[in-house]
Amino acid sequence: MALVSLPLYENRSRAESFGSVADLYDRARPSYPPALIDALLADGGRTVLDVGCGTGIAAALFAARGCEVTGVEVDARMAEIARGRGLEVEVSTFERWDDRGRRFDVVSSGQAWHWIDPHAGAAHAADVLKPGGRIGAFWNFGDPPPDVRERLAPVYDRLAPELVNYSVVLDSARRAERLDVTVAGIKGSHRFGPVEVRHFPWVRSYGAREWADFLATHSDHHALAPVRRKQLLDEVTKAIGGVFEMPYETALVTAQTR
């Protein structure tokens, strides 16, 4: 009998696994392009609720624009690093977070909305947004160039074949699904106007060790047994060798409250 995989937001062991690599996550995860922040603040928003703020990578970009930012983060270890950036962070799942009557211009979520029930999350976002407020869920999607993928393929085939077709990093097939689910949740709340999907291309350079560190912060890689994970990442580092250019596309799903 075929196994039915849980939606990511129901897989709490994965959703709450990042705190054990919080320092590495903060160093290795990429930031976001300035044009994305421009788009989310184009309506003049100045109060931002950053959902699943992690170590504050996205929240710090809003704060640097002069916004008043409140973060919600499920893991206290991640939240502590965000607080070290001078951010206000409350530890909770978003679905159960107590807004205490506070209202915001923007509800943002970088690299985290797939860990939240898309229907309950959209409804709660609408509850805490001011009239005309904006929700923005966004992800960095990227594929290593073909020559790097060719070098990595035999490593994964040998050491972690299950990640080839499931990894958030190495498999692009789930991108459309992730965006579609987010769009459906926002539309299904009947609390927002038209939903827009926007794309922001950019590029980042990675050295071999930097790429391995980046992989180590993803829940599918982190879920491997430590010995197996170390072997995989060591072989990935050897296979890459030098520096490569990683083309990214940040995808934003956004809408305004009615």
Per-residue pLDDT of the chain (258 residues; tens, 9 = 90+): 333 354 655 544 454 556 678 999 999 999 999 999 999 999 999 999 999 999 999 999 999 999 999 999 999 999 999 999 999 999 999 999 999 999 999 999 999 999 999 999 999 999 999 999 999 999 999 888 999 999 999 999 999 998 865 565 655 567 888 999 999 999 999 999 999 999 999 999 999 999 999 999 888 898 899 999 999 999 999 999 999 999 999 999 999 999
- At 183, which amino acid appears? V
- Record the pTM: 0.88
In the prediction, which pLDDT does 69 show? 98
In the prediction, which pLDDT does 143 show? 84
DSSP 173: T
Structure token digits, residue 192: 């927002």
E strand or H helix that includes residue 233: helix 226-240
Residues 61-75: b if buried by 16+ CB within 10 A, e if exposed: bbbeeebebbbbbbb
In the prediction, which pLDDT does 92 show? 97
Kindly give, in sequence order, each residue whose CB lies less than 8 Å from that of residue 104, ignoring residues fewer than 6 positions away: 45, 47, 48, 49, 70, 128, 129, 130, 133
In which region does residue 111 sit, left (phi positive, over 0), alpha (psi from -120 to 50) or beta (all else)? left
State how far the Cα of 133 lies from the Cα of 204, in Å rounded to an integer. Answer: 32
In the prediction, which pLDDT does 219 show? 82
In the prediction, which pLDDT does 162 show? 87
Q: What are phi and psi of 252, to 5 degrees?
A: -120, 125
User: Domains along the chain?
Assistant: 8-143+171-201+248-256 (3.40.50.150)
State how far the Cα of 31 lies from the Cα of 204, in Å rounded to an integer. Answer: 10
State how far the Cα of 86 lies from the Cα of 63, in Å rounded to an integer. Answer: 9
